[in-house]
Amino acid sequence: MIKKKAILIVLLSVLLVSCSAKGDSKNNDKKNSVENFPNKTVNVIIPFGEGSASDAFVRQYSQILSEHSNANFQPINKDGSSGLLGMLHTYQQKNDGYNILEITPSQVIADNLDKSKDIKLLDDFEPLAQIQSDIYVLSVSKDSPIKDYDDLIAKGKKGGITVGGASSTGLDDFATSNFEKEANINTNFIPYSSGSEVKAAALGGEVDVYLDKVVNVVDYVKSKKVRSLIIFNNERINKIDEFKKTPTTKEKGLNVDIGSWRGFVIKKGAPKEVKEQLSKQLKNAYETEEYKKYSEDNLVDIGEGYLGPDKFEKKLDKEYKKFDEIAKDLDIKQ
């Protein structure tokens, strides 16, 4: 009996040692995986279709990241539902840092409108960095009787104005509503399915004014097909001669600075060291000569640029609160 007990104790001891060794092995594997991150391809999820501005940005940025780091960054399109399908896909992956998601204001608005009951941007993801932003401008066709900002406000107060933009309950709609409230005028937002349709409507006289990003308007202003009336920004765009005389919303006493931006987030729960490494690589890519040239060529250097994780998080919270208020003004959220 004593002999059997001794054998049993020996077996239990061996089992405990074995389990401990396996536990240590797993911990070491996990530690090595974090220390060696990234040691395989990092997928950069684009929640929009090929050929879009967001797609072009991520493809260019992924190339720069790959060239200036020890890993391959692979752009992958997951288009649908205003960015929600891409967000859902990223959420379904492991939180090991090998899948990061591009985001724009579209996903913040989706959070505001509760478009997804399963996942939320601000609850289920953590910011890595904002990289670039676009500035909005209101413009009219060259033949429009609206000659300047004062004409625009006068018409808006008297009988109202029609504003062309992309997508109902999207960023253009929200920006127009914000401008309407701050300027104390009446507007009717007319949504179109694409930017080219918006321009055609404005040039053809279907709408009084149209809202678009500066980068999409600049060539039309230079060719004198349209006139810019007001820039949704705090400072004038002195870098572009044709916009130097265009007033800003801040100059007119309006708290309107809504614009588009692009950045990256990661699924919550990733190791701290992984997040720090990714943030560092994103910042390093931003500071390269290749990206500086890209941003200058595409006029994304005239707005707010890089924001680190903490500042980007504060911006996302601020944007959410702003969009929440606008959604209530539009009567699309209780």
- pLDDT at res. 294: 96
Q: What is the pLDDT of residues 233-272, one digit of tens each?
A: 999 999 999 999 999 999 999 999 999 999 999 999 999 9
* The 187-192 sheet, strands edge to edge: 187-192, 161-166, 209-213, 136-141, 226-231
Q: Exposure of 73 by Cβ count < 10 A (0-12 exposed, 13-18 middle, 19+ buried)? A: buried
Q: What is the pLDDT of residues 181-210, one digit of tens each?
A: 999 999 999 999 988 999 999 999 999 999
Could you tell me if 40 and 71 are in contact, meaning their C-beta atoms sit under 8 angstroms apart? yes
Of 222, 181, 176, 220, residue with least CA distance to 202 = 220
pTM score: 0.88
What number is the average pLDDT over the span 297-305? 93
- pLDDT at res. 34: 75
Cβ partners under 8 Å of residue 227, min gap 6 = 139, 140, 141, 142, 144, 147, 148, 221
